[in-house]
Structure 1
Amino acid sequence: MRTFTTAILLAILLTATTAFAAPKSNDAANSKNELYAAIERIVEFPEKGIDYAKSGYVTTTFKVDENGSITVQKVKGDRTLKNHVKSQIENISIKDANLYGKYYEIKIYFDFTEKF
């Protein structure tokens, strides 16, 4: 059971009204809150973080391309978590064409102390 605290801040750099995401894991979202929940389900606490008892955060800027695929542009934060989060975020595909061609920023916090 995943018990990490995820604080997600999705700042839309370009205006978008409705979010519909269909992650490759068959999760779906048709509102901002459902998008946050879908991202929480997909992004798991990395094993390296558990091994080193590391808590931390990453801020990721990504673009949704014209096919609905996510391409991570920039990742800032804890080095142990950066590559893990990048690969997890890129597993989400967006179905709402209104979101294509736009940039988004998301901040995810992993709290190791709540893991155990």
Structure 2
Amino acid sequence: MITLHVERSSRERITGFRLSGHAGSGPYGYDLVCAGVSAVSFGAINAVEALTHSHPDVKQAPDGGLLDYRADEQASESDQDKAQLILEAMIVSMRTIEQSYGKFLRIHDKGGVDHA
């Protein structure tokens, strides 16, 4: 199972997220849940980096079982706002995957409501 932990500030802004685990919904290379989660998360990170002047801290494990994102707290307010919109859109997409494939993806959003 893939687990997404979303971290938020006291103002409900996303300060980071951590994806861990493997979906196991299909054979390696044919795992559609893994492919969807990967596309959504890396697409969001790439969008933050391309559309803002922020430099988030991103780490991943060589085996692909871990992706850790930390927002750039030094970015301008405008760039932080843009990044927030992108990250909130990522969460919406992840919840859509979770609704259809909840057996393989679980979201924990400390500032929101967990949907199982």
Structure 1 length as normaliser, TM-score?
A: 0.35
Relative contact order (alpha carbons < 8 A, sep ≥ 6): 1 or 2 greater?
A: 1
Structure 2 length as normaliser, TM-score?
A: 0.35
Query: Between Structure 1 and Structure 2, which shows a larger proportion of helix residues?
Result: 2
